[in-house]
Amino acid sequence: MFRFGNKKKKVFILLGHPDKDSLNCTLADEYERGATEAGLDVRRMNIGDMVFDPILHFGYRKIQELEPDLLAFQENVRWCEHFVIFYPSWWSTMPALLKGLIDRTWLPGFAYNFISGGYMWKQLLKGRSVSMIVTSDTVPLIQRIIFGDTTNELRKGILWFAGFSPIRVYKFGYLKHFGLWRRERMKSKVYDLGKRAK
């Protein structure tokens, strides 16, 4: 059993694909199965089940009241020691609904606080690690060569900014041409990541 001292490691899984019939959901299921079988303390949210307005109607000039699912998301992020995000790369970035979730919840007092006149900031989510599991219909190396690091927005601009470390990125690509054996191998790898909370 995976423990920190005398307690279970706390893992929060977010399925960032809106469709629960997607490969991303299958992979999230495998990770959750591995983590649960390893005795980890696991919570999970599926963005497709969450009810919230993903649009910042006033930018950050006026903070909108957070819906219950957004408050639950924030509570789960605060609770966890390891955060795992599954999402597909669409047009070289995350799905709009996932970005909307971040826009609405990654707020001062939760993820960061600016200090020293706004030029420096305090990272409020330190002490947590994170894994990003990203799928794509493009070979990851080709995507990187043509478009650059398409995970940078979430990896550095959002997660690192709030204090997450280490940040691990696992990319699975060219999915349209994955044969059954490669899909099974991918599922097995993600299951193993869950057992090790990586």
pLDDT at residue 195 tops 90: yes
What pLDDT score does 144 carry? Answer: 66
What pLDDT score does 150 carry? Answer: 74
pLDDT at residue 5 tops 70: no
What's domain 3-196's architecture? 3-Layer(aba) Sandwich (3.40)
Q: What number is the average pLDDT over the span 67-93?
A: 96
What pLDDT score does 7 carry? Answer: 75
Q: How far is CA 127 from CA 65, 75, 79, 161, in A?
A: 27, 15, 11, 13
Q: What number is the average pLDDT over the span 177-193?
A: 84
The pLDDT tens digits of the residues spanning 134-153 come to 998 776 666 666 666 778 89
The pLDDT tens digits of the residues spanning 38-57 come to 999 999 999 999 999 999 99
As beta bridge partners, residue 115 has 120
- Spatial distance between the Cα atoms of 35 and 37, rounded to a whole number of angstroms: 6
Domain ranges for the chain, please list them. 3-196
Q: What number is the average pLDDT over the span 29-37?
A: 98
- Spatial distance between the Cα atoms of 94 and 39, rounded to a whole number of angstroms: 30
Pairing of the two strands 10-15 and 7-8: unpaired
What pLDDT score does 147 carry? Answer: 66
